[in-house]
Amino acid sequence: MKNLKSYWQGLVGLIYPRICLSCGEPLVRGEDFACSECMYHIQRTNYHLKEDNPVAQLFYGRVELEFATSYFGFDKGGIFQKLMHHLKYKGEKELGEMLGKHLGMGLKQSPCLPPVDMVIPVPLHKKRMRERGYNQSEHIAIGLAEVLDVEVNAKSLQRTAYKGSQTKLHRTERWRNVAGNFEVKNENKLSGKHVLLVDDVLTTGATIEACCEALNVVEGIRISVATLARAQ
């Protein structure tokens, strides 16, 4: 059966060759979605190795966190932005799981992140879920949680309102756009837990802050934050 499966995979690969979503070159065995060269050239921030890093500093005085980090750099027009476009708008949700595993491997090496009880993806509103068909942050969380060997909880934090895209909004407008838009269900599942809040790209931190404000109603909860990248 394995030989037959390998045969069909090879035949499909000849007819529909898998290509790198960034550079368009054919992928080889062991590569998924992006070739090794493109993955190599994506900047790593190494923030996960330092407690007092720029992402953690972004939230000082805003929300209390155990730890915060972003794994990749985000260059406009660069390799990572191309991959994120495929993840968010081209239906390549498994790409999120692959990138989540990279994030998870980084966090596994971090001396700063306390043991995590569960991973919580930043939720999409139901309207956006219907439009896109999936939550990219949940797929990032799935890959990350697999590496850390913890559960994904995608139900306890919910988005109750959607006021449109934040892409072109300034920092204050972004905060107003998301403030009060999240709520917690089944608080008992989160009580006393250390949760890792996961998202794709960090910009002003307004969405993460709004999520943390909602989560902080839970007794004894501790929160850390990890995103794939930080946009400067």
Other Cβ atoms less than 10 A from the Cβ of 188: the count is 9
**Residue 181 near residue 209 (C-beta atoms within 8 A):** no
Report the alpha-carbon distance of residue 101 to residue 160 in Å, rounded.
Answer: 29
pLDDT of residue 8 exceeding 50? no
**Residue 161: DSSP 8-state:** -
The pLDDT assigned to 161 comes to: 79
- The strand order across the sheet containing 118-121 reads 67-74, 222-231, 194-202, 118-121, 151-152
The pLDDT assigned to 166 comes to: 52
Which region among 65-74, 178-187, 215-224 has the lowest average model confidence (pLDDT)? 178-187
Average pLDDT over residues 201-209: 94
pLDDT in tens, 90-134: 999 999 999 999 999 999 999 999 999 999 999 999 998 999 999
Question: Euclidean distance between the first and final Cα of the chain, in Å?
Answer: 49
Report the alpha-carbon distance of residue 195 to residue 152 in Å, rounded.
Answer: 10
pLDDT of residue 2 exceeding 60? no
pLDDT in tens, 30-57: 999 999 999 999 999 999 999 999 999 9
Give the 3-state DSSP-derived string for 16-45, with helices as H, strands as E and coil as C: CCCECCCCCCECCCCCECECHHHHHHCCEC
Q: How confident is the model at residue 76 (pLDDT cuts 50, 70, 90)?
A: confident
pLDDT averaged over every residue in the chain:
89
190-to-30, 87, 118, 157, 186 alpha-carbon distances in Å: 37, 29, 9, 10, 8
